[in-house]
Structure 1
Amino acid sequence: MISAGLKQKFLNYLLAGQHQQCSSVIRELLNDNTSFILIYEDLLKHSLYEVGFLWERNKIGVAEEHLASAIIEKLLSEIYPSIENVQPVNKNAIVCCIEKEHHQIGSKMVADIFEKNGWETLYLGANTPESSLIRYIELTHPQFLALSLSIYFHFHSFKILLDKLTTKFPELNICIGGQAFNHIPESQIPESQRIKFFKDLHEIDLYLRTSAK
């Protein structure tokens, strides 16, 4: 686990827009052999949630929120070379956010988890139109589709998209997750034989290492 003190120090740097200091914290953790998944989950994701919490309560403005997100994206690029190369598993996965979802950092973390486990990752990023996603699934025939949902108010359209995808591609495995599910009762999460919900990056990694070989 990453200490509460280090998390707070990192968050302070992040809110102050101090990219170099944030980067120094990351290098320190990597030098201590902290796994990148723990850094993603316990530090970066935690910090993003804290930033969102502060923004929702008007403690910070849009500028600070955007700056924090930009710094986190830079840090992901800095961490990426430390991800250990593994033997390819000859499988591919599409990772993206649904249409009108512009928060893409979580989906980029998920893409890195797939790559860490040897998958070819087709990362489409934020705000992927439904028609484009369907066309790309038809073009690439992925073994997995990972969909990220950050905004709770998009949950209805998210479920509609899932229904369309499972009807059109009944053999496609789909994993879902994202911050929005913190506000959705477990009984309403649309899981099935082909749709799997993961609450965090550790669960995705464990599944890919054990059940998706």
Structure 2
Amino acid sequence: MATEDLDLPVPDSTLTILYPGFVAALLAGHRRRCEALTDQALGAGVPILALYQQLFQRALYQVGEEWEHNRISVGTEHLATAVVEGLLNRLYPRVIAPYRRGRRIIIGSVEGELHQVGAKMACDVFEMHGWEALYLGADTPTTELLRTVLELQPNAVGLSLSIDTHLDALHAALGLLRAAHPALPLLIGGQGLRRLGPTLTADPKVHYMADLDALERLVTRLDRDG
């Protein structure tokens, strides 16, 4: 699959210019260069959500494609992911809204899923809206997810899937969550669901998030509907 077929929004002119250099720096593991390009985008007025989706996410999708076609090593893919995670941590103080809504979401990567950048970005979108976003980490055991949901009583739960080989784990988690919490909104997303995600939403309380823009719209709706 070519990078241009990833169904991401068309970047604005600033990100179009910065993107090739950012990917090159990412593949080389040049963290400071990636930080400088990120700062350049922010200085040009690029919103954080656009930065996440059209630079970070787009670049990691390309890195994943390079790895799938054996053009880069696993080590290079892991290094690129670590650099982006560092950028997210660096931007976090800019993300937190100055107000709190008194609402909480729990987000985790499904059992067996080791990728977590997308889930962290999703947490940040909720934090931008004043939610308390609790991230349970990669490879979240379904039993522990259920225990945490029972203990903390969130207003919503999100599950991330980057590799479709873990689809059975997602199905199992959704079924158990729905049985225990019939009215709880459940959000699903990630690169592993780009083709199958829309087929998993027969339940009106299960929401497939194709991208961060879709998540932004859903959070706005959840805030409005209470």
Q: Which TM-score band applies after superposition, normalised by the shorter structure?
A: over 0.9
After TM superposition, the structure 1 = structure 2 runs for residues 47-86 of structure 1, keeping only pairs within 5 Å, are 47-83=59-95, 85-86=97-98
Secondary structure, aligned partner of 1:146: strand
> Which of 21, 28, 53 pairs up with 1:16?
28
The AA in structure 2 aligned to 1:176 is: I
Which of 179, 186, 195 aligns to 2:206? It is: 195
TM-score (norm 2): 0.89
Query: C-alpha separation between the residues in 1 aligned to 2:182 and 2:197?
Result: 25
CA RMSD of aligned residues (A): 1.4
Q: 1:178 aligns with which of 186, 190, 202?
A: 190
| Residue of structure 2 equivalent to 1:157 | 169
Deviation at 1:6, TM superposition (A): 1.5
Q: How does 1:30-45 map to 2 (within 5 A)?
A: 30-45=42-57
Report the alpha carbon displacement of residue 190 of structure 1 after superposing the two structures with TM: 3.3
* Inter-partner Cα distance in structure 2 for 1:59 and 1:178: 23
- Amino acid aligned to 1:154: H
Give the equivalent residue in structure 2 for 1:147: 159
SS of aligned partner of 2:157: strand
Query: SS at the partner of 1:183?
Result: coil
Q: Which amino acid aligns with 2:210?
A: K
Q: Which aligned runs of 4 or more in structure 1 are off by greater than 4 angstroms?
A: none
Q: Could you tell me which runs of 5 or more consecutive residues in structure 2 were left unpaired when the two chains were aligned.
A: 1-11
Task: Tell me the SS of whatever aligns to 1:96.
Answer: strand
Q: CA deviation at 1:33?
A: 2.0
- 1:109 counterpart residue number: 121
Matched pairs, number: 212
Further displaced range: 92-101 or 81-90: 81-90
CA positional deviation for 1:207: 1.8
Aligned-partner Cα distance in 2 for 1:180–1:16:
25
Cα distance in 1 for partners of 2:169, 2:86 equals 30
Please give the per-residue CA displacement for 1:84-124, whole angstroms capped at 9, x wherever unaligned: 52421111100111111110000000000111101011111
Alpha-carbon separation, structure 1, partners of 2:143 and 2:96: 35
Deviation at 1:157, TM superposition (A): 2.3
- Higher deviation after alignment, 191-200 or 8-17: 191-200
Out of 76, 97, 100, the position equivalent to 1:88 is 100
Using the TM superposition, give the Cα deviation of residue 191 of structure 1 relative to its aligned residue in structure 2, in angstroms.
3.9
> Which letter maps to 2:175?
D
Structure 1 residue 44, shift from structure 2 partner: 0.3
Question: Structure 1 unaligned runs (5+)?
Answer: none
